[in-house]
Amino acid sequence: MSWKPLILCVDDTPSVLEGLKMLLEENGYRVLTATNGKEAVQAFTSHSVDLVLLDFHMPEMNVTWPRPA
């Protein structure tokens, strides 16, 4: 059995998650999904994730970029 990278996909749109999951699994990756930031943090801390693909604008928790002073 060969090693397969584990990718965590995070998006609040279920159809986007399903499409990503299907595409990645068809190409030999293992996939975890999360529909919000809390689920994503839980999945990330409880699994050895190799890559995270995420939606920057989601309810509850967003990615915030530092603004120049």
Tens digit of each residue's pLDDT (9 = 90 or more) over 9-45: 999 999 999 999 999 999 999 999 999 888 998 999 9
- Judged against a pLDDT cut of 90, whether residue 65 lies above it is answered with no
- Centroid of chain to Cα 36: 9
Beta strands in 1-69 (DSSP E): 6-10, 30-34, 51-54
- Judged against a pLDDT cut of 80, whether residue 57 lies above it is answered with no
- Which one, of 14, 64, 59, lies nearest residue 38 by Cα? 59
pTM for the structure as a whole: 0.82
What the block records as the tokens of 39 is 């689920």
Sign of the alpha-carbon dihedral angle for 57, 62, 38, 22? positive
- Judged against a pLDDT cut of 90, whether residue 2 lies above it is answered with no
Q: Which CATH number fits domain 6-54: 3.40.630.30, 3.40.1710.10, 3.40.50.20, 3.40.50.2300?
A: 3.40.50.2300
What does the pLDDT read at residue 50?
97
